C-alpha cells in the first residue's frame, strides 16, 4: 500500500491507510474522503415528504408511509448488519417501502444525484470512492444530525441517543462548530499490540512507565526477541501509540495545539520527552533489525511470529493478521506507556475514534426516515449484531455483553474501560493527510526511528512542515473549538 500525496483535498481521511483494512473487513475508512468532488447543487430536485406526527414510538416524526432509501458502502463490514437493521425499520413502519442498496462506487453512483437534488435518505459514505466531506459540508449538502442525537434512544426513552455514545463520536462529526454533519458508526482502538503469552513468557507485566518499557525490552532482547517493530515503509503508524503518549504526558491541549497547527506546538516539552523516549528504543537496539524497510504486512507478520514483542497499530490488525497470528497468541492491546508519575493524564489514556461515516443529505426526501434508521442501528441489539458479525465495536457505548469477543476485541473493550474519559482523538490524520503521512510520518518520525535524525532535528523539521501547512492557502484549515 503506497503513500499518496494529496495537497488539495479538504478534511481528508486516512484513506489509503484504511482502504485495505476496509477491504479486509476491519475498520472501514474513518476520516474524510480524498476525492474533492464537485458537489454543486441545482438540478431538478425532489419534493420533500411531509413529516409524520412525533410520538413516543416515533420521536423523530417519520412519515410512516414515505419511502426510505439507504445506500451502504459495500466494504469489509459487508451488508448483513445493515440489512438486519432495515428489517427492524420495516417492522416499525410497515406501510413504508424501504429501498436498500450497497455499492463500492459511492461517488460515481451518488454525486450525480446530489447535483440533481434527489439524493438518498441515508448514506454510508465510505471506501475508495468516498465523497469529500469537506466539500459536502461547505456546500450545505448535509443535514444537521442534532435532532437524532437529541432524540430518545431506541432502548431507553429516558436517555438521549447522544448519551449512549462512546467518547469523541459527536465531536468527530463537527466541522468548525456546533452542527453535527457526520455520524461515525464503527469505533477503532489504537495502541500498542502484543501477545500476552509472549509477555508472560518473559515473566513481565505491560510497562506503565518508560523505565519499565526499557526493562521489558531488555528482557526480550536477552531472549533473542526485539522489543518493537512497526511499518517502517509507512511510519505514520508510529503515531497510533506516540500521539496518545504525548497527550498522556502533556495533556490533551498539546495534541489540540498540534492539530490546530499552532506555532511551536511541536516544541512542547511533552513532545520532546516522548520523541526522546522512542529514540531510546533505536539507540538501545530494541527495534527489530530491518524494520525501516518493512511494510505493514511484513512488520505484522514478523511480530506475529514472535520476532518482536510490541507493534503500534489499530484494531483492524486482528482481522488483517488473522492468517499469521498463532492460535495461542492471546492478542492484547494496551494504552501507551507514559514517562513517569509526573504525566498529566493517568495510565490508560488511549486513542480511540470513529470510523464508517454515515450522512443524511440536506435534500433527502425523507431525512427523518434516514435518521430513524440510524437510531435503530444505535440500539443495543443492532450494535451487538454488528460487533458479533464483523469483529469491530460500534459508536454505541456497550453492546458487547453476552457475545463471544475475539481476544483483540476483548482486550480493546478492557482498554476502553480502563481509559474511561481519558480517550484522546488527534485529528491531524483526518484534517491534513499529506502533512501527517508524507511529512511527519515518512520524513520526520521514520527518519528519526531509523537513526538518521536526532529527536531535536526531527522536531525542528516537523514544526517546519506544520508551519508550511498553516500558511498554505490551498488547503482548508480546521480548528478544535
166 and 40 together in one domain: yes
The reply to whether 6 falls in a domain is no
CA 341 to each of CA 51, 208, 209, 351: distance values in angstroms, whole numbers, following the listed order? 56, 10, 8, 20
Same domain, yes or no, for 433 and 398? no
Residue keyed to cell 473487513: 25
Instruction: Say whether both 40 and 164 belong to one domain.
Output: yes
The model's pLDDT over 94-120, given as tens digits with 9 standing for 90+, comes to 999 999 999 999 999 999 999 999 999
Least confident of 25-29, 144-148, 466-470: 25-29
Average pLDDT over residues 458-479: 93
pLDDT above 70 covers a percentage of the chain that reads 91
Structural domain includes residue 1: no
Looking at the fold, whether 346 and 438 belong to one and the same domain comes out as yes
- Assess whether pLDDT exceeds 70 at residue 245: yes
42: left (phi over 0), alpha (psi -120 to 50) or beta: left
Asked if the structure places residue 283 within a domain, the reply is yes
Say yes or no: 367 and 462 in one domain: no
Please check whether residue 145 lies inside any domain of the structure. Answer: yes
**Total of domains in the chain:** 2
How far is residue 365's CA from residue 363's CA, in Å, rounded to a whole number? 6
- In this structure, are 235 and 154 located in the same domain? no
Do both 340 and 370 map to the same domain?
Answer: no
Question: Do residue 216 and residue 363 come from a single domain?
Answer: no
pLDDT higher than threshold 90 for residue 3 = no
Same domain assignment for residues 129 and 40: yes
Question: Looking at the domain assignment, is residue 417 inside a domain?
Answer: no
Tens of pLDDT, residues 407-423? 999 999 999 999 999 99
Helices 455-471, 269-283: axis angle to 10 degrees equals 130
- Confidence label for 6 from pLDDT (cuts 50, 70 and 90): very low
Q: Please work out, in degrees rounded to the nearest 5, the angle formed at the alpha carbon of residue 237 by the alpha carbons of 32 and 29.
A: 25
Its domain, for residue 391, covers 15-188+355-402
pLDDT score at 213: 98
Phi (first) and psi of residue 190, to 5 degrees: -105, 150
> Is 398 among the domain residues?
yes
The verdict on residue 266 lying in a domain is yes
Task: Tell me the CATH number at 100.
Answer: 3.40.190.10
Each residue's pLDDT tens digit, 274-285: 999 999 999 999
The verdict on 383 and 288 lying in the same domain is: no
Q: 457 and 372 in one domain?
A: no
Burial of 472 (0-12, 13-18, 19+ CB in 10 A): middle
152 and 237 in a single domain? The answer is no
**pLDDT value of position 44:** 55
Does residue 419 lie in a domain region? no
Neighbours of 410 (CB within 10 A): 15
338: left (phi over 0), alpha (psi -120 to 50) or beta: beta
pLDDT, tens digit (0-9, with 9 covering 90-100), for 171-212: 889 877 779 999 999 999 999 999 999 999 999 999 999 999
Amino acid at each position: 500500500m503506497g503513500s499518496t500525496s494529496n495537497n488539495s483535498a479538504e478534511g481528508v481521511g486516512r484513506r489509503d491507510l484504511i482502504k485495505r483494512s476496509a477491504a479486509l473487513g476491519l475498520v472501514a475508512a474513518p476520516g474524510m474522503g480524498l476525492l474533492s468532488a464537485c458537489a454543486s447543487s441545482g438540478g431538478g430536485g425532489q419534493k420533500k415528504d411531509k413529516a409524520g406526527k412525533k410520538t413516543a414510538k416515533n420521536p423523530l416524526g417519520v412519515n410512516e408511509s414515505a419511502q426510505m432509501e439507504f445506500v451502504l458502502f459495500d466494504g469489509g463490514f459487508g451488508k448483513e448488519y445493515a440489512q438486519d437493521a432495515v428489517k427492524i425499520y420495516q417492522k416499525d413502519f410497515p406501510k413504508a417501502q424501504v429501498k436498500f442498496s450497497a455499492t463500492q462506487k459511492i461517488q460515481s453512483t451518488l454525486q450525480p444525484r446530489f447535483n440533481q437534488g434527489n439524493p438518498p435518505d441515508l448514506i454510508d459514505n465510505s471506501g475508495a470512492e468516498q465523497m469529500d466531506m469537506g466539500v459536502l459540508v461547505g456546500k450545505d449538502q448535509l443535514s444537521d444530525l442534532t435532532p437524532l442525537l437529541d432524540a430518545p434512544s431506541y432502548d431507553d426513552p429516558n436517555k438521549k441517543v447522544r448519551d449512549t455514545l462512546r467518547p469523541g463520536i459527536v465531536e468527530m462529526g463537527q466541522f468548525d462548530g456546533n452542527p453535527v454533519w457526520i455520524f461515525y458508526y464503527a469505533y477503532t482502538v489504537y495502541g500498542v499490540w502484543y501477545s500476552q503469552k509472549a509477555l508472560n513468557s518473559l515473566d513481565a507485566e505491560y510497562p506503565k512507565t518508560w523505565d519499565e518499557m526499557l526493562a521489558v525490552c531488555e528482557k526480550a532482547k536477552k531472549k533473542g526477541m526485539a522489543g518493537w517493530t512497526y511499518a517502517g515503509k509507512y511510519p505514520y503508524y508510529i503515531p497510533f501509540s506516540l500521539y496518545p503518549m504525548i497527550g498522556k504526558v502533556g495533556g490533551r491541549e498539546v495534541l489540540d495545539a498540534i492539530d490546530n497547527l499552532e506555532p511551536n506546538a511541536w516544541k512542547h516539552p511533552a513532545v520532546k520527552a516522548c520523541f526522546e523516549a522512542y529514540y531510546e528504543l533505536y539507540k538501545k537496539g530494541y527495534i527489530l533489525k530491518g524494520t525501516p524497510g518493512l511494510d505493514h504486512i511484513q512488520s505484522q507478520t514478523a511480530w506475529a511470529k514472535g520476532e518482536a514483542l510490541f507493534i503500534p497499530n489499530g484494531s483492524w490488525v486482528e482481522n488483517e493478521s488473522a492468517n499469521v497470528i498463532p492460535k495461542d497468541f492471546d492478542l492484547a492491546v494496551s494504552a501507551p506507556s507514559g514517562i513517569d508519575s509526573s504525566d498529566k493524564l493517568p495510565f490508560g489514556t488511549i486513542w480511540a475514534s470513529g470510523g464508517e461515516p454515515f450522512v443524511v443529505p440536506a435534500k433527502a426526501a425523507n431525512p427523518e426516515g434516514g435518521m430513524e434508521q440510524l437510531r435503530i442501528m444505535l440500539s443495543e441489539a443492532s450494535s451487538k449484531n454488528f460487533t458479533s458479525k464483523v469483529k469491530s465495536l460500534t459508536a454505541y457505548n456497550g453492546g458487547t455483553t453476552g457475545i463471544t469477543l475475539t481476544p483483540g476485541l476483548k482486550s480493546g473493550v478492557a482498554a476502553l474501560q480502563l481509559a474511561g474519559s481519558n480517550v484522546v482523538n488527534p485529528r491531524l490524520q483526518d484534517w491534513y493527510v499529506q502533512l501527517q503521512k508524507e511529512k511527519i510520518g515518512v520524513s520526520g518520525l521514520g527518519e528519526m526511528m531509523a537513526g538518521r535524525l536526532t529527536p531535536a532535528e526531527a522536531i525542528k523539521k516537523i514544526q517546519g512542515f506544520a508551519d508550511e501547512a498553516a500558511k498554505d492557502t490551498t488547503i482548508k484549515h480546521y480548528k478544535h473549538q
